[in-house]
Structures are given as structure tokens and as C-alpha cells.
Amino acid sequence: MTDATAIADRYIAAWNETDPDMRRRLLSQIWTEDGTYRDPLMQGEGLDQIDTLIAAVHERFPTFRFALTGTPDGYGDCIRFSWELGPEGADGIVKGTDFATLQGGRLKTVTGFLDQVPAQAPAEAVA
């Protein structure tokens, strides 16, 4: 059985990693080389593009951090988990749910959905 919590924890750790070299190491451990990420605001294919997406979030929101919410679950080669993004130590102001497929225990595709975005800002302003 897939350990959805361990995979989701490592995924969130990669999104929170601010050191580019360490983040790249984490990405190469949890993603396939040709992995894809997409959500309503951005998309990337391969580790370089996914790394660039994460770096852009850090640039735009330097004090924000991702945190898991609820309990990740999965079966077979699929997992889903929910997260929040906000200032470190505070409740998240953006919330979402990601669905992922795995290949060889590593992320192959991640599709993200935004469940909550601040009303005062259009979704485009969040990413």
C-alpha cells in the first residue's frame, strides 16, 4: 500500500525548502524526471520547471509556508491530500487539494485545486 502521508510530507517539504540546492535534491528524490505539475494558475513539466514554479512562490510570498491539513489518503498509484499556505505560524489564507499519480513510488503527476483563495484578491494574485 502507498504511504500517502510520507509522500505528502516530502512533497510539502520540497515546496517549503528555500535553499535551491536542497530543494532540487528533494525534488529529485520524490518526483520522476518527467513529472508534471499543474493547477489553475501555473504548470510545469520536468524537475527544472517544477523547481522554477516553487522558487516563484517563495519569491512572491517569502514568509509563507505550506502545511498539510487533514489526513492524506490513497490507493494503488494515486494519492490526495489537502494543504494550506500562509504566514509561518498562522492559519493558511490559501487552501487547496492536490491529486497525484505515482510511478515507482515517486510523483509522476500532480494536479492541484484551489479550495480557498482570499476574497479580496483574484486567484491570479495568489500565485
Q: Residue 72 belongs to what domain range? A: 4-125
| Alpha carbons 1 and 16: distance in angstroms, whole number | 26
- Give mean pLDDT, residues 6-19: 97
Question: Angle of helix 46-60 relative to helix 20-30, nearest 10 degrees?
Answer: 130
Cβ within 8 Å of residue 30, ≥6 positions away: 7, 10, 11, 14, 106, 107
Task: Decide if 94 contacts 115 (C-beta within 8 A).
Answer: no
Quick one: cell of 50? 517544477
What local confidence, expressed as pLDDT, does residue 122 receive? 44
What are residue 103's phi and psi, to 5 degrees?
Answer: -140, 115
Give the model's confidence band at 124: pLDDT under 50 very low, under 70 low, under 90 confident, else very high.
Answer: very low
Task: Decide if 35 contacts 109 (C-beta within 8 A).
Answer: yes
Per-residue pLDDT tens digits for 66-89: 999 999 999 999 999 999 999 988
| Alpha carbons 44 and 34: distance in angstroms, whole number | 10
Give the predicted TM-score (pTM) of the model.
Answer: 0.90
Domain count, the chain: 1
Per-residue pLDDT tens digits for 96-107: 999 999 999 999
CATH number of the domain that 117 lies in? 3.10.450.50
